[in-house]
Chains A and B, each alone.
Chain A
Amino acid sequence: MRIGLPKALLYYYYFPLWKTFFEALGCEVVVSNETTKQTLDNGTKFMAPELCVPMKICSGHVAELLEEKVDYIFLPRMVSIHKQETFCPKFLGLPDMMRYTIPGLEEKMLAPQIHSHTERVSHPKDYLILREPLEVSLQDIKKALKQAEKVWCDFRAYSKRGYDIKNATDLALGQVTEMELAEKNKNPFDISIGVIGYVYNIYDKFVSMDLLNHLENLNVNVFTFEMLDEMEMEMELNDMKKAMFWTFSNKLLGTGRRFYHDTHIDGIIHVTAFGCGPDSFVGKLMELESNECHKPFMTVRVDEHSGQNHLQTRIEAFVDMIKKKKNALKTQKQRRA
């Protein structure tokens, strides 16, 4: 049986888990191609105009998979992965939106409701509805989930050691070894920038316009939220009057604050998609704090009309400014010494 996984939204965070899970159940996993302009245009055709870009991209990927003749498309309804927190309403309504807007999807959609208390979304009760379409038993699902959970925990461990999502995924799935990647040289450059943004924004090269590579080419160390330990993020949020409802938004804000207080981080870039509801809070709270912490903060907002050139210019200017500031401080210190 061929199961389609759209390369969008939480694919970037849960791919090792879902891939292992379906393969353990004897299915073939078909992943859609990298996002292109065509994918987004395709998605825009189906979805409501003011929906955010990541959702439109997701529907573009789904449409692409439908043409690939897969038997089913895996489109989970992500409700919660943390106690007392949920996903944004668009995630909650995602299968319903897609069901009605993309013709031919309804019969092929596998939409289990993921309602978990932990990030390891591997509770068998969430996947019960897969028994019939995949012709497997509860025992099979339990066994497959155990295996998948282990791989995913490895993946997270690699992330926390500083590998980016792509490398961490390859490592966890055993496609490369650490030897091959060569021990990642931590902090090879002088300047470190924290990039905050959801996995589907910063790791989708089309959405982020390859921001991470741009930064590395400019000799900058890049840090993202999934490299931090959950405890560190939660500590930063302790003094909030009310925590946000959305798990990943809390992570971003916690990470952002961590970056503000971390002396190794020289600047912060927030990548957000136009129309992202939760980010309107994250962005504003970060902005207010930026004044207090005296650290450069820049927002990159992407929509379906964004051009790449302006981003290049802005990022270069941002990095140059930080370099200048750092050099000035250095010479000042030397003079004093």
Chain B
Amino acid sequence: MRITFPHMGETYIAAKGFLEDLGLEVVVPPPCDKETLNIGTRYSPAEICLPFKINIGNYIQSIENGADTILITGSCGPCRFGLFWMAQQEILNNLGYDVEIIAFDPPQENVRDFLQKSKKILGYHTPYQIAKAAKNTYRIVREMEAISNRLYKIRPREIEVGSADRYYKNFESEIYHVRGSKAILGLIDTLNNDLDHVDMDLSIKPIKIGIVGEIYTMIEPFINLNLERKLGQLGVEVHRSMTVGHWVETTVMEKLFKMNKEKNIQEAAEPYLKTFIGGHGQECIGHAVQYAEKLYDGVIHLYPFTCMPQIVAKSILPTVIKDYDMPLLTLVVDEMTSEVNYQTRLEAFTDLLKMKDTKMRIG
């Protein structure tokens, strides 16, 4: 069994660590690029959202590299994500690929199904081994989150623009060549050391922008055209409202242990959107409110074209920003998004915010 999984930002690092610790053979899909997108667009329904298309691209590229089993999580709707695997399996079979997609739906829906699938992957491992692998994986997730947060702080302040990202790029290319969570944690340590040596101008007080929206689009740099890096290089300290760790916590912890970590976010969204609409639509409103309350300079709303929950959020966000008097930029990405247009809009937006910021400081 050679396992693969779709890309979603830095998630592959943790997934690779976990599966390799369990002694499984892993085929990490090549980093997302134009080719991935082209393959995906060719075989996906035209009106599906971009994450679906990228998934298909990842799968086919991995299958060509020898993968025969695909791991993915499910969900119980009403966002389309929960049905991805069902349609993807049909599409891949129709193309003549002999692969199996093992999708983990939330256990409360069908416990037996969940256990059967877990057994397939976890096999003969003892609970101790599994717990150990899970613990190390969680450490990777946390460390990667800390690194993202460091990069947000470093990018607008570094003296030689792009030096931190150079280290990060090196790190990413090495990940493909190591095996197991121990080696990965070692690489993370090296990266942290390297980042210590980046020269920064600590007197700079950058403007702050919060990113809200659809989780996949926010986390995967290919699909959002490296939004965080672009903003960082424009001298902006960004904050992303959702991370992989956050996602693990809300999907795993909440469902298994009935902890509701999202409660304060839901409460913040309550006056504007009263019900859960799936796909982090309600969370998006909640996060925007929270950024406004924390006095961020602006918010960027990011989502893939035709995303159902985010269209609802988009219709409501103008009211939120009016109430809080906060600038908002909406970015909708699809396979036709042009990088130049995108860059111009970002520059214009950050310039406006900077102007507003200086005006406030002077008088």
- Give the interface of A toward B (CB within 8 A): 47-48, 50-51, 77, 79, 86-90, 92-93, 96-97, 100-101, 113, 240-242, 244-246, 274-281, 283-285, 288
Contacts and interface: CB of A to CB of B under 8 A. Distances in A.
A84 to B, nearest CB: 8
A242 B82 CA distance: 9
A93 B284 CA distance: 13
Contacts of A48: 311, 314-315
Interface in B304-343: 305-306, 308-309, 311-316, 318-319, 332
Given A92-B277, A101-B315, A277-B80, 13 more contacts: A77-B275, A87-B78, A92-B275, A93-B309, A97-B312, A100-B272, A100-B315, A113-B275, A242-B83, A242-B86, A280-B306, A284-B48, A284-B91
A89 B90 contact: no
A234 B85 CA distance: 21
Nearest to A242: B86
Contacts of A246: 77-78
Contacts of B80: 277-278, 280-281
A284 B90 CA distance: 10
B278 A89 contact: yes
Contacts of A101: 315
Nearest to B281: A89
Interface of B: 44-49, 74, 76-80, 82-83, 85-87, 89-91, 94, 103, 105, 272-279, 281, 305-306, 308-309, 311-316, 318-319, 332
Given A89-B78, A96-B273, A240-B86, A280 B312 contact: no
Nearest to A50: B311
Nearest to A275: B306
A277 B45 contact: no
A87 B308 CA distance: 11
Nearest to B305: A50
A297 to B, nearest CB: 14
B316 A96 contact: yes
A281 B318 contact: no
A66 B274 CA distance: 23
Contact of A280 (B45, B86, B94): B45
Contacts of A281: 45, 48, 80, 83, 87
Nearest to B110: A242
Given A100-B272, A245-B82, A89 B45 contact: no
Contacts of A88: 78, 308
B77 A86 contact: yes
Contacts of B318: 100
Please name the 7 residue pairs, one residue from A and one from B, whose CB atoms are nearest each other, closest first: A245-B77, A93-B312, A284-B45, A89-B277, A97-B315, A277-B308, A280-B47
A277 B312 CA distance: 13
Contacts of B272: 96, 100
Contacts of B274: 96
A60 to B, nearest CB: 15
A288 B312 contact: no
A47 B279 contact: no
Nearest to B276: A92
Contacts of B90: 284-285, 288
B316 to A, nearest CB: 6
B306 A96 contact: no
A280 B51 CA distance: 14
B275 A93 contact: yes
A284 B276 CA distance: 27
B78 A51 contact: no
A284 B52 CA distance: 13
10 contacts: A48-B315, A50-B311, A77-B275, A87-B78, A100-B319, A276-B47, A278-B80, A280-B46, A280-B47, A288-B94
